[in-house]
Amino acid sequence: MYSIRSTTLIIILLLTSTFIEGKPTYPSSSNNIKDYIKYLLNINGSENEYIRFLSYLKVHPPKDNMKLKLLYEELFSFDSYISDLTEVYAKYYTLDEIIELIKFYSNSLGKKTIRFNHILNEQMEDLMLTKISDYIFTATEHGLKIPLPEFK
């Protein structure tokens, strides 16, 4: 008797988790596209990509100068980035398209995409750096000069 109840309970829990997984929670009954965009950016890993981008550019908040720190926060804070990115998304996507993107990033494939996107980008960066090194090495080996950009 106990095993029948526990088996039934396990089946119910599995079915419940299956039905819940792909159903995103939307912003509070708003028809404002910007609320949906902000929600989308929250679930699709934008913060990690932004932090990675700032790190790549070597843009870090100043520690000593309070005025510069406030200016940095105004221009480069994640909230500022989300606000700017929301404006850009609103130019190119309709509310229905944003809702479809939310559905995608809320399902298992979308979550997998988010999980592996960073890894894929790193692997491609490494691959491209290797190719660039090979290009420079091979060209130099054959006496060819590669024009490099000048920094002034």
Encode pLDDT of 101-149 as tens digits. 999 999 999 999 888 887 888 888 889 889 988 888 888 888 888 777 7
Helices (H), the chain: 2-21, 33-43, 46-57, 66-76, 78-92, 95-106, 108-141
Same domain, 28 and 102: yes
End-to-end CA distance of the chain: 81
The tokens for 28 are 């509070």
- Are 66 and 73 contacting, i.e. CB atoms less than 8 angstroms apart? no
Per-residue pLDDT at 80: 87
| Long-range contacts, 3-6 (Cβ 8 Å, 24+) | none
- The parent domain of residue 45 ranges over 24-106
Task: Tell me how far apart the alpha carbons of residues 98 and 28 are, in angstroms, rounded to a whole number.
Answer: 15
Give the pLDDT band of residue 56 (cuts 50, 70, 90).
confident
Cα separations in angstroms, 146 against 120, 126, 131, 140, 141: 29, 21, 14, 8, 12
Residue located via tokens 């190119």? 92
Query: Which pTM was predicted?
Result: 0.61
Task: Tell me how far apart the alpha carbons of residues 82 and 85 are, in angstroms, rounded to a whole number.
Answer: 5
Query: Is 7 a member of any domain?
Result: no
Query: Is 121 a member of any domain?
Result: yes
Which is more confidently placed, 48 or 15?
A: 48
Per-residue pLDDT at 9: 44
Same domain, 29 and 99: yes
